[in-house]
Amino acid sequence: MTESSYVEVKDLRRVFDVSKPWLNRVLEGGEKQYLKAVDGVSFNIAKGETFALVGESGSGKSTVARMVVGLLPPTSGEVLIDGVSMSSRAASTERQRLRRRIQMIFQDPYASLNPRWQVDRIVSEPIRAFRLIESEKDIADRVGELLSLVGLHPADGRKYPHEFSGGQRQRIAIARALASNAEFIVCDEPTSALDVSVQAQILNLMRDLQDRLGLTYLFISHNLAVVRHMASRIGVMYLGRIVEISNGRELFAHPKHPYTRMLLDAVPDVGMTGRQRIPVRGEIPNPINPPTGCTFNPRCPFANDRCRTEIPSLIGGVACHAIHEGRLAVDAAA
């Protein structure tokens, strides 16, 4: 683990067996099928930083998020958080201490909260699970403090989730994530189910909490406007691999990979700059049967024979043969 890294993801891979049952394969003559959801993803996150993963649906972002917090075991690779491995090989006492400092905010606030529990029970669950506070009165005081911290009233603790709007429910989910004194929070599309005006409120709340509490975020999103507002560094994923990783401002000002450029060109040109844009071509391929070589090659206007046979390495923050060979200028889309 590098000295400045709080989170380090090393060559993370996840393969799912999506084969038909054995008897079906025998009768129909089929073979086993495997889906590479994540294929060799590596990145670091410094303490107090927001690192974002962006890409189209099906690129593997949420699978990475679940492996980072330990909800899904990797097929291979490793996740280190503050020097402790999240793998089953690590000492259980170390992992248990670490888990208290890691939380996740899920995409859908309508589904991530137990509808049968009152809000005070929902928010206090991590406190009780990790036995952070023993006294019931002190737990109630802490829940009220957390609800106030996210912009709700302590009296809201006696209500049920259905009595709140989508934005308020996501505030409850944030309060629950903070209840265990978490330091690292994985945010999996935390605003995609909310109205645009409410999205801005939640994002501003998350930034304020990060500044106040020194939180570290892994932010998953397909919305480039949200990522631009939140992230200091960005990794662009396509079909299970990171194709570009860069400082946030640099990525938006000078995108390198053709896929990154395509994503940015898909954003409406509100300023009507007249800049030439690369039209979006095709759709993300079937991950069960991905293209050979660079998986973006069927949609890339700069692909050649090498792109169709050889997987590009991530060199200089970009995985693209056209960039590495000098066929595509780095500043062509600036």
Domain positions in the chain? 5-101+183-257
> Mean pLDDT across the stretch 294-322?
94
Q: Is the pLDDT of residue 109 over 90?
A: no
Average pLDDT along the chain: 89
d(CA 149, CA 46): 25
Q: Is the pLDDT of residue 170 over 90?
A: yes
Whether the pTM exceeds 0.75: the reply is: yes
* Residues contacting residue 228 through CB under 8 Å, at least 6 positions apart: 248, 252
d(CA 130, CA 125): 9
Give the 3-state secondary structure of residue 162.
helix
Can you name the residues that pair with 54 across neighbouring β-strands? 221, 236
d(CA 311, CA 294): 5
Q: Is the pLDDT of residue 327 over 70?
A: yes
Distances (CA, A) of 78 to 5, 12, 156, 216, 289: 14, 6, 40, 19, 26
Question: Given this model, what pLDDT does residue 334 score?
Answer: 43
> Mean pLDDT across the stretch 34-55?
95
The CATH architecture one would assign to domain 5-101+183-257 is: 3-Layer(aba) Sandwich (3.40)
